Amino acid sequence: MTNVIIKESEDQPNLSIETPRLHIRTSRYEDADAMTAMLQVPGVADRLALFKLPYEPIESEIWCMNAETGLASENNWLMAILHRENEKQIGCIGLHRDAAVGGDWLPTRSAASYTNTAEIGYWIGKDHWGHGYASEAVGAMLYFGFEKRDLTMIHASASPENEQSDHILLRHQFRQCGTFMREIADGRTRPSVRYELTAPEWRANHG
């Protein structure tokens, strides 16, 4: 993707990805207040399995503190999505390595098929819906995961009612792989649709 610019710092853990409209960079502690303000708006955090409800500021602080650790260990890439025009945060996106194996998902193939995989998750603040920002960020993170980290497969999940996320994932050639009961942050389970995209499938559309 010629319209994606990736910069990685060797001096301190930091990843920066630029797209035509977005600056996607490693989350920082100072991002926590803006994250909390967006995620406490009804209709945002309740779509996500990662956070307990009602959404509390400590969740944002934990995300930001984990970002540097995850980047250094190459296990998680927890990123803030900013608008390039004004560097204002409008959401977050993350790649979580090896989340496919175990727990709440019965693999469709052998466990060996899930070596070097990651789960992608994302959200956009409600004031910024309808502009294609989530799709642009997903495209950039897929490029990073497949081309820069040689991931073999990236997967995602979304509730059956989340039509926006379904549209984004299908637009990026993810395949629906069935419905399962996913455990969410507060310990409950809820139906989720599983999506997968392998590296060969992605490269077939980005050769």
Identify which has the larger pLDDT, 100 or 175.
175
Q: Is 196 in contact with 155 (CB distance < 8 Å)?
A: yes
Torsion-angle region of 174 (φ positive above 0: left; ψ -120 to 50: alpha; else: beta): beta
d(CA 98, CA 119): 7
Q: Is 48 in contact with 40 (CB distance < 8 Å)?
A: no
Q: Is 55 in contact with 35 (CB distance < 8 Å)?
A: no
Mean pLDDT along residues 158-163: 90
Judged against a pLDDT cut of 60, whether residue 99 lies above it is answered with: no
The confidence band for 185, taking pLDDT boundaries of 50, 70 and 90, is: low
Domain 5-204 class? alpha beta
> Residue 146 corresponds to which amino acid?
F
Looking at 38-42, 64-68, 100-104, 155-159, which range is the least confident one?
Answer: 100-104
Q: At a CB cut-off of 8 Å and minimum separation 6, what does 2 contact?
A: none
Polymer length of the chain:
207
Looking at 1-15, 55-69, 162-176, which range is the least confident one?
Answer: 1-15
Domain boundaries of the chain, sorted by first residue? 5-204
What is this structure's pTM?
Answer: 0.90
Average pLDDT, rounded, for the chain: 87
Radius of gyration of the chain from its Cα atoms, rounded to whole angstroms: 16
